Amino acid sequence: MAVRTASFLLFGLFVTFHTWGAWADMEVNMEDRVEVYKGDTAQITCMFTSSEGIGNTIIQWFYVTETGERQKIYYQDSMSQIVDRATRFTDRISVNGTGATGEVVLTIRDVQLADGREFICLIKNLTDDSKGSTQLKVFGTPDLPTIEGVQTGISVNEVSPSKIGTCEVKNGFPRPNITWYRNNTPLQSVPDEVEIVPSVTSESSGLFSVKSELNLKVVKEDKNDEFYCEVSYFVPGGTRMTETHRINISVFYPPTAVNVWVESPKGNIKEGDSIELHCEDNGNPPSSIISIKRFEENNSDGQSLDGEVLVLNNVTRRDSGVYQCTSIDSDTFQSISGNVSVFVHFLDAAVVIPQDTIVVAMGEEFKATCNALSSLKTQAEWLKDGEVVFKGHTLTVKDATFDKAGMYECVVTVPEIEEMKTSGSIFVNVKGPPEILKPDNTEIESYDTTVDLSCMVRGFPAPKIIWSTSDGQDLEMASEMMTEDGLQSRVSIQVTSDITASCNASNDHGTDALTFNIKTPVNTTPPPVTTTTTIPTTTTTTTTTTATTTGTATATTISSATVKAETAIPPKKIRKEGSGVIIAVIIICILLLAILGSVLYFLYKKGKICGRSGKQDLTKDKSNKDNIVVEMKSDNTEEAVLLGVNGEKQSPNEQ
């Protein structure tokens, strides 16, 4: 209050003093206007001078009513001071000062809006009078303004301006003004584009409430616009402004482009992947009528799915192509599309040339190429026995040896896509004369009646192996099997005296032979046999299973050489017991012996296959379904009996 009073007093200093004088000698000076807030106290000063001196003056105060009449509210002379009764100011005014001082002040308490009138001060003496007037201005500060934006989206397709929002300011006096702003620029009415609709309410209190509605023809760019209102109102001595907060509008506009992309997988796509295509247009709101489909020249249906996601499972190269997404505006039914190219990478099965098997002469060079059809660059690697022997598509091996024979695997990979891999293989046979692996010992002392000999031979074509004794007798071969190292031939011979036995391997390219010398020490008690030797059968194949293979790689990875049919040596002199009953009994025996054999297998450590001195081994390899080696040792006195799974009973050295 004090501040306000000070401000209007200060203001008053700048107002030119207006002089009303009836005669040149008497003057009354008053301010043009006095400004005050409603409820405050107003003071109106009346100053007068007289050339004759001041005395005997009559002072009267009037206000001008709404109808323009003068209404006296106060009278004062040297004798009395009278406030007029029954006026609107009766209880609220007072005047101090006298004619003697040349200045009187009318004080109005609790100023009301209706008090904002013209006040007249009239000075009289017996012969003269003079008067002055002041306009009282009353102000009411309005409440803080409010703004309310429309919550629904506004379409750019609307033909006439759409409502953006409403601003309101209440209880101001005099009437406040509302100005709309868009992004700090005041808006003015523009026909068919900007409509500002104001409305004023006069409250019962005499204060004004003002509303303003903004209607706009929105464009897409308005989506980021900020709108607000500024309210300006008068205060004593000037104007003030307040602003509302800012509002956004949501603008609905049709899309101009459609974006379709492969959401997953990121990066290269390969056959078998599941791919997910996503689509979105840039309209607001995004269209709900959206579909993705394979783009076909002739627009046949193809894969299609309504919705912004298309999932293709287990794709193949045939799924490569352009995928198109179409969005239809629900208002205008105009459609726009976008497309994306999808490429499904592939890697076909590896092709090795030459196919399957290759036969090379000893010392010669051989080549094999390996590749797989792919959409990307491939790399190849050749492996032998699990180790990389060459990197590149064409394998070249110079100077073929038996060591270089065997299975070569080629692995084709795609460097750009790690998971893509395929492989092929080729089997290499190296032609050459037989080569018998020299055992540790060919001098054997035998304490037993039979002795087992074995011979490991490499060579291709598979050599024919013949066993013979020094006296020119051919020996019956016990078994022949393929191992990783070559062809293994075994024989059991009956020892009665010192004897020499030879293993003679031959094929088209040559011959190799190995001689064993077996001695029977006289007057020596044969030591009890405590060790039996078994051959692990997991890495071997008997001739009976490979006898019919003719140089092609078998499915068994363990075979490292091939055997021609003519080299197969079937077991001979098999005595058959024709009775079914006996066979049944024998089968039971086999099962029992199988258990016994297994136990023995694990109990005794492995011995040398052939040329073991000081021990007489009786072995018989069986490649039966259970891979069980059955062995039986008849302790000197009894004949060794070998039993196969097929129920055959063999006396190996029966001659």
Ligand X SMILES: *[C@@H]1O[C@H](CO)[C@@H](O)[C@H](O)[C@H]1NC(C)=O
Beta-bridge partners for 412: 380, 422
Angle at 345 between CA 343 and CA 349, to 5 degrees: 150
Is residue 87 part of the contact set for ligand X (CB under 6 A)? no
Selected binder of ligand X within 77, 84, 118, 128 (CB under 6 A): 128
Using DSSP bridges, classify how beta strands 129-139 and 33-37 pair: parallel, antiparallel or unpaired: parallel
* DSSP symbol at 590: H
Taking the least distance from each CB to ligand X, the nearer of 243 and 445 is 243
Minimum Å gap between C-beta 127 and ligand X is 4
- Which of the residues 576 through 605 are near ligand X (CB under 6 A)? none
Choose which of 208, 228, 234, 460 interacts with ligand X (CB under 6 A): 234
Nearer to ligand X, 47 or 370 (CB): 47
Whole-number Cα distances in Å, 197 to 180, 213, 250, 334: 11, 5, 21, 35
**Residue owning tokens 């100077």:** 399
The whole-angstrom separation of Cα 615 and Cα 632 is 15
Q: Does 471 bind ligand X (CB under 6 A)?
A: no
**CA distances to 178, 213, 228, 247, 338 from 194, in Å:** 15, 11, 14, 17, 36
Question: Does 497 interact with ligand X (rule: CB under 6 A)?
Answer: no
Task: Check: CB of residue 493 under 8 Å from CB of residue 469.
Answer: yes
**What tokens does 588 get?**
């039971």
> x/- string (CB under 6 A) for ligand X, residues 95-114?
-xx-----x-x---------
Please state the closest distance from residue 547 (CB atom) to ligand X, in A.
20
Residues between 172 and 231 with contacts to ligand X, criterion CB under 6 A? 177, 224, 226
**523 CA to centre of own chain:** 86
Token look-up 């990783």 returns 484
Alpha helices in 341-465, H assignment, sequence order: none
The H or E element that residue 3 is part of is helix 2-13
| Minimum distance, C-beta of residue 166 to ligand X, in the bound complex (Å) | 17
Pick between residue 84 and residue 226 the one whose CB is nearest to ligand X: 226
Q: Counting contacts by CB under 6 A, is residue 474 touching ligand X?
A: no
**Selected binder of ligand X within 25, 32, 110, 306 (CB under 6 A):** 25
- Whose CB is nearest to ligand X? 96
Exactly one of 70, 246, 317, 608 binds ligand X (CB under 6 A); which one?
246
The only residue of 32, 52, 203, 419 in contact with ligand X, by rule CB under 6 A: 52
Give whichever of 244 and 449 is closer to ligand X, judged by the CB atom. 244
278-286, 453-461, 499-507, 639-647 -> range binding ligand X (CB under 6 A):
499-507
Cα 277 to Cα 262: distance, rounded to the nearest angstrom:
5
- CA distance readout (Å), 250 to 83, 160, 307, 555: 64, 17, 24, 71
User: Residue 105 and residue 117: Cα distance in Å, rounded?
Assistant: 16
Minimum separation from the CB atom of position 503 to ligand X (A): 9
- Would you call 505 exposed, middle or buried from its count of C-beta atoms within 10 A (0-12, 13-18, 19+)? buried
Give the whole-angstrom CA distance, residue 355 versus residue 193: 82
Say if CB 164 and CB 217 are below 8 A apart.
no
- Distance in Å, CB of 608 to ligand X, minimum: 23
Segment contacting ligand X (CB under 6 A): 71-79, 503-511, 570-578, 596-604? 503-511
Considering the complex, state which of residue 109 and residue 391 has its C-beta at the smaller distance from ligand X: 109
Q: In this complex, which beta carbon is closest to ligand X, that of residue 51 or of residue 160?
A: 51
Among the listed ranges 50-58, 137-145, 343-351, 385-393, the one in contact with ligand X (CB under 6 A) is 50-58
- Residue 250 in the binding site for ligand X (CB under 6 A): no
SS (H, E, C) 10-67: HHHHCCCCEEECCCCCEEEEECCEEEEECCCCEEEEEEEEECCCCCCCEEEEEEECCC
Q: How far apart are the first and last CA of the chain?
A: 143
**Using rule CB under 6 A, residue 163 touches ligand X:** no
Supply angle C-alpha 402, 404, 407, rounded to 5: 110
Answer for which of 171, 268, 369, 511 binds ligand X (CB under 6 A) is 511
Smallest gap from residue 600 Cβ to ligand X (A):
36
Minimum CB distance to ligand X smaller for 199 or for 330: 199
Encoded tokens for 596: 């016994």
CB nearer ligand X, residue 208 or residue 408: 208
Measured from the CB atom, is 99 or 254 closer to ligand X?
99
If binding means CB under 6 A, how many residues of this protein chain bind ligand X? 36
Q: How far is CA 593 from the centre of its chain?
A: 62
Among 157, 248, 304, 556, binds ligand X (CB under 6 A): 248
- Taken as a whole, the chain contains a residue count of 655
Cα 92 to chain centroid, rounded: 80
Specify the residue, 321 or 647, whose C-beta has the smaller distance to ligand X: 321
Nearest to ligand X of 260, 426 (CB atom): 260
CB 329 within 8 A of CB 391: no
For ligand X, the closer of residues 149 and 611 by Cβ is 149
Output Rg (C-alpha) for the chain, integer angstroms.
61
**511 vs 458: CA distance, rounded Å:** 11
Nearest distance from residue 225's CB to ligand X, in Å? 8
Least distance between ligand X and beta carbon 86 (Å): 24
Q: Which of residues 281-300 bind ligand X (CB under 6 A)?
A: 295, 297-298
String marking each residue 513-532 x if it binds ligand X according to CB under 6 A: x-------------------
The contact set with ligand X (CB under 6 A) reads 25-26, 50-52, 56, 96-97, 103, 105, 125-128, 177, 224, 226, 232-234, 239, 246, 248, 272, 295, 297-298, 314, 316, 322, 339, 502, 504, 506, 511, 513
